[in-house]
Each structure stands twice: as structure tokens, then as C-alpha cells.
Amino acid sequence: MPAFARLPCPLPGVDIVSADSAKAFPRHIHDEFGIGRIDRGAQKTASGRGMVQSVAGDVITVNPGEVHDGLPLGDHGRAWRMLYLAPDVVGSLVTDIVEGRHAGDVEFHLPTLHDDRIAGRFEALFGAMAATPVDAADTLHVDGALIPSPSTR
């Protein structure tokens, strides 16, 4: 696998990225919301929400315009997967879920989450998105991955 792979995505405004790298990333920003998972290794990140460490299994997040970096911990780097969601995609989801709120009201408060339930939801969503052909008209199973089953609530 290349160090960075952009995978095809059936939904406009969503980018899927898989990465495996020992590279240290300088401070930078993304225009999108990012949610992902560390698959192997660990990293330290100085974000707009403080210094955090993330290890394999953790869910990681970043807000649009949030300055952050990424430093691998250890000599073997880390592997991670990310979904980058355009603010208008998040805004439309928020509007559908919570009346009277919009994307400007939304932000991730925790840059790292040690939560198996949330990690499971990420796995379901990532798997559904990465497995859907880009030209598929039916993305219901992607939508379904967003809805927790009774056993994961």
C-alpha cells in the first residue's frame, strides 16, 4: 500500500484517506471536518485543543481550520484512516438531526476518543463508504452505517 491512498467515495463532499507513515507533519489545517482511527502505532498532536497522544484503536478528530501537526511516537510510524467531510455535508446532517442548528454550531470537542462504541461506528461507516462503488446510485447502506443498531447504542 502506498504511504497515502485516496480511496473513491460515492458521496460528494467526502474524501476517504488511508495512510501509513513515519513522517512528522508540520502545523497545517484542513478545510473539512476529519474523523478517523489510528490502526497501528501512535502519534502526538499539538492541536487547537491542546497536546494529545493517540494510540492504535483511538478515534481522532479535527475541525475545519484547526491548526494541528502530527508526530509519530516510536520508530515505526503509525497507520490511520480518515473521513474528511465538507462543512456543508456536516451542516446538512446536523439540520436533519437537530432542528434549529447549523454547521457553524458544530465542532469536535475531543481530538482523541478512547471509546470502543464510537470506534465501532467509525469502522462501520468507513467500511460502508470504502466498499461502495463511486458510480452506485444506492448509498442506503452508507446511510444505514450511521444508524446504530440496538446492540451498539
With a CB cutoff of 8 Å and minimum separation 6, the contacts of 43 are: 53, 54, 70, 71, 72, 73, 78, 80
140 or 57: which leads in pLDDT:
57
Task: Establish if 148 belongs to a structural domain.
Answer: no
Pair 101, 95: CB distance under 8 Å: yes
Residue 94 maps to which CATH number?
A: 2.60.120.10
Question: Residue 60's pLDDT is what?
Answer: 97
Average pLDDT over residues 4-25: 91
Task: Establish if 73 belongs to a structural domain.
Answer: yes
| Lowest model confidence (mean pLDDT) among 71-80, 100-109, 120-129 | 100-109
Task: Establish if 149 belongs to a structural domain.
Answer: no
3-state secondary structure of 140: helix
With a CB cutoff of 8 Å and minimum separation 6, the contacts of 66 are: 29, 30, 47, 48, 49
C-alpha cell at 63: 475541525
Task: Establish if 131 belongs to a structural domain.
Answer: yes
Amino acid present at 132:
T
Residues spanned by the domain of 111: 4-142
Task: Establish if 153 belongs to a structural domain.
Answer: no
Task: Establish if 33 belongs to a structural domain.
Answer: yes
| Lowest model confidence (mean pLDDT) among 72-76, 132-136, 137-141 | 137-141
Task: Establish if 133 belongs to a structural domain.
Answer: yes
Rounded CA separation 26/78 (Å): 16
Quick: pLDDT tens for 61-104: 999 999 999 999 998 999 999 999 999 888 887 776 777 666 56
Q: DSSP states of 71-137 as a string?
A: EEEEEEEEEEEEEEE-HHHHHHHHHHHSTT--GGG---S-SEE--HHHHHHHHHHHHHHHHS-TT-S
Average pLDDT over residues 18-35: 95
Pair 40, 56: CB distance under 8 Å: yes
Give me the number of domains the chain comprises.
1
Task: Establish if 151 belongs to a structural domain.
Answer: no
